[in-house]
């Protein structure tokens, strides 16, 4: 199996004339959960959008040794990267099941890693509501649906932007369990988060961003031990 590592090397990104990312270098190795932390406006979401080809950028971005910079978002998706944006991008007038069907990718005859049954087993609430229009689901249910729909495309790596935003603590626990399940099945995760607790609980490694730069890279234990970084770049 080829090495499905995501690598960013000295990436600069721009919105028009505004220079947003300043030389970002980071990587997510196969089967790893890596958290990208930082306050609002630090450049975390821009990093995910840059990987997906949605932002003008310079530098080098590779996945599995193949360059991504310059590809369109759908081409990046076809390379094996799934992206769950912060805005819970569902089709409100379609049912839960129809939303999941739209996520399916038919990769020849190879058996996909995930089935509808897997989704419904992981999130019984979605099974109960599979014939309900997605627009009437609660915020937590919509978040689950967006995650599941992305997974139905069978990505090797999934980037998730603020999956716990606005969710009740019980649902946050569920999301954490779900991310661990992805790791068990060999899917790498780049978790874009503001909340330190979930990141420290489930990540192998953490990056902290500030003003469009990586200001810290290390294990959750190293981040716990580094009061300066937490105070300077993370705590509100």
- 86-110: average pLDDT: 82
Q: What is the pLDDT of residues 29-83, one digit of tens each?
A: 999 999 999 999 999 999 999 999 999 999 999 999 999 999 999 999 999 999 9
Lowest mean pLDDT among 43-57, 90-104, 169-183, 201-215: 169-183
Between CA 191 and CA 176 the distance in angstroms is 11
Tell which wins on pLDDT, 150 or 112.
Answer: 150
pLDDT of residue 86: 81
- CB neighbour list of residue 108: distance below 8 Å, 6 or more residues apart: none
Residue 1 has pLDDT above 90, yes or no: no
pLDDT at 166 over 80: no
pLDDT digits (tens, 9 = 90+) for 219-233: 999 999 999 999 999
Q: What is the structure's pLDDT at 200? A: 93
d(CA 6, CA 12): 16
Model's pTM, two decimal places?
0.91
Q: Are 173 and 206 in contact (CB under 8 A)?
A: no
The CATH number corresponding to 6-234 among 3.40.250.10, 3.50.50.60, 3.80.10.10, 3.40.50.300 equals 3.40.50.300
* b/e map 172-205, b = 16+ CB within 10 Å: bebbbebbeebeeeebbbbbbbbbbebbbebbbb
What mean pLDDT, rounded, does the chain reach? 91
The answer to whether the Cα torsion of 62, 63, 65, 68 is positive or negative is: negative
């Amino acid at each position: 199996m080829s090495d499905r590592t995501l690598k960013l090397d000295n990436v600069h990104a721009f919105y028009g004339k505004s220079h947003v990312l300043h030389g970002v270098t980071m990587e997510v190795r196969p089967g790893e959960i890596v958290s990208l932390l930082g306050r609002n406006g630090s450049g975390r979401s821009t990093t995910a959008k840059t990987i997906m080809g949605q932002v003008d950028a310079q530098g080098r971005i590779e996945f599995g040794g193949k360059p991504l910079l310059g590809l369109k978002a759908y081409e990046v998706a076809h390379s094996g990267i799934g992206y769950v944006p912060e805005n819970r991008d569902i089709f409100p007038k379609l049912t839960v099941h129809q939303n999941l069907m739209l996520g399916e990718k038919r990769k020849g005859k190879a058996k996909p890693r995930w089935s509808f049954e897997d989704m419904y087993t992981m999130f019984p609430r979605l099974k109960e509501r599979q014939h309900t229009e997605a627009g009437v689901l609660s915020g937590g249910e919509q978040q689950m649906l967006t995650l599941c729909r992305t997974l139905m495309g069978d990505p090797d790596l999934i980037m998730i932007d603020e999956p716990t935003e606005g969710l009740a603590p019980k649902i946050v626990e569920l999301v954490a369990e779900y991310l661990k399940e992805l790791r068990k099945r060999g899917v790498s995760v780049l978790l874009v988060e503001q909340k330190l607790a979930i990141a420290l609980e489930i990540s192998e490694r953490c990056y902290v961003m500030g003003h469009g730069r990586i200001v810290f890279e290390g294990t959750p234990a190293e981040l716990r031990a580094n009061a300066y970084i937490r105070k300077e770049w993370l705590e509100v």
